A and B are shown apart, each in its own frame.
Chain A
Amino acid sequence: MKVLIDQDKCVGAGQCVLAAPDVFDQRDEDGIVVLLQEYPPAELHEDVRQAARICPALAIELDEA
Chain B
Amino acid sequence: MNLDHVVVVGASAAGLTAAEALRREGYDGRITMIGAEQRLPYDRPPLSKQVLAGTWEPERTALRREDALVEADWLLGTPAAGLDVAARTVRLADGTAIGYDGLVIATGVTPRRLPFGHDLAGVHVLRSMDDALALRKDLLAASSVVVVGAGFLGAETAAVARQMGLAVTLVDPLPAPMIRQFGAKIGGLVAKLHADNGVTVRTGVGVSGLVGLGDQVVAVDLADGSSLPAEVVLVAIGSEPATGWLADSGLSLGNGVDCDSLCRAAPGVVAAGDVASWTHPELGVRLRVEHRMNATEQGMAAAKTLLGKGEPFAPVPYFWTDQYEVKIQAYGMFPEDSVPTVVVGDPAEGSFAAEYHQHGRVVGVLGWNLPRETRKLRARIGGAA
Q: In whole Å, how far is B274's beta carbon from the nearest beta carbon of chain A? A: 14
Question: B371 on the interface (CB 8 Å rule)?
Answer: yes
Is A30 in contact with B371, judged by CB distance below 8 angstroms? yes
Question: B296 on the interface (CB 8 Å rule)?
Answer: yes
Provide the residues of chain B in CB contact with A31, threshold 8 Å: 327, 329, 370-372, 374-375
Q: In whole Å, how far is A4's beta carbon from the nearest beta carbon of chain B? A: 13
Determine which of B20, B60, B320, B378 lies in contact with A12 in the assembled complex, contact meaning CB atoms within 8 Å: B320
In whole angstroms, how far apart are the Cα atoms of A54 and B298 in the complex? 11
Determine which of B20, B43, B327 lies in contact with A30 in the assembled complex, contact meaning CB atoms within 8 Å: B327
Number of A residues near B (Cβ < 8 Å) is 18
In whole angstroms, how far apart are the Cα atoms of A57 and B296 in the complex? 11
In whole angstroms, how far apart are the Cα atoms of A31 and B372 in the complex? 5
Is B371 in contact with A54, judged by CB distance below 8 angstroms? no
Is B296 in contact with A13, judged by CB distance below 8 angstroms? no
Bits for B317-341, please: 1 = Cβ < 8 Å to A, else 0: 0101010000101000000000000
Number of B residues near A (Cβ < 8 Å) is 23
Is A26 in contact with B372, judged by CB distance below 8 angstroms? yes
In whole angstroms, how far apart are the Cα atoms of A26 and B168 in the complex? 34
Provide the residues of chain B in CB contact with A58, threshold 8 Å: 43, 63
Question: A43 on the interface (CB 8 Å rule)?
Answer: no
Is B329 in contact with A12, judged by CB distance below 8 angstroms? yes
Is A12 in contact with B63, judged by CB distance below 8 angstroms? no
Given contacts A12-B320, A31-B327, A26 and B293 within 8 Å (CB-CB): no
Is B372 in contact with A13, judged by CB distance below 8 angstroms? no
Provide the residues of chain A in CB contact with B371, threshold 8 Å: 12, 14, 26, 30-31
Given contacts A11-B45, A30-B371, A56 and B329 within 8 Å (CB-CB): no
In whole angstroms, how far apart are the Cα atoms of A60 and B307 in the complex? 27
Question: B172 on the interface (CB 8 Å rule)?
Answer: no
Provide the residues of chain B in CB contact with A15, threshold 8 Å: 293, 318
Residue of A nearest to B320 (CB): A11
Q: In whole Å, how far is A64's beta carbon from the nearest beta carbon of chain B? A: 12
Is B300 in contact with A13, judged by CB distance below 8 angstroms? no
Name, among B20, B43, B296, B372, the residue most crowded by chain A CB atoms within 10 Å (CB to CB): B372
Given contacts A56-B292, A58-B43, A11 and B322 within 8 Å (CB-CB): yes
8 A–B contacts from the bound complex (CB under 8 Å)? A12-B371, A13-B293, A26-B375, A28-B372, A31-B372, A31-B375, A57-B43, A57-B45
Residues on A lying within 8 angstroms of B by beta carbon are: 9, 11-15, 17-18, 26-28, 30-31, 53-54, 56-58
Residues on B lying within 8 angstroms of A by beta carbon are: 17, 20, 43, 45, 60, 63, 292-293, 296-297, 300, 318, 320, 322, 327, 329, 369-372, 374-375, 378
Which 8 A/B pairs are nearest by Cβ-Cβ distance? A31-B371, A14-B375, A12-B371, A26-B372, A56-B293, A56-B292, A28-B372, A31-B372
Q: Told that A11-B320, A13-B329, A30-B327 touch, could you supply 18 new A-B pairs with CB distance under 8 A?
A: A9-B60, A11-B45, A13-B318, A14-B374, A14-B378, A15-B318, A18-B375, A30-B369, A31-B327, A31-B329, A31-B370, A31-B372, A53-B296, A54-B293, A54-B296, A56-B292, A56-B296, A58-B43
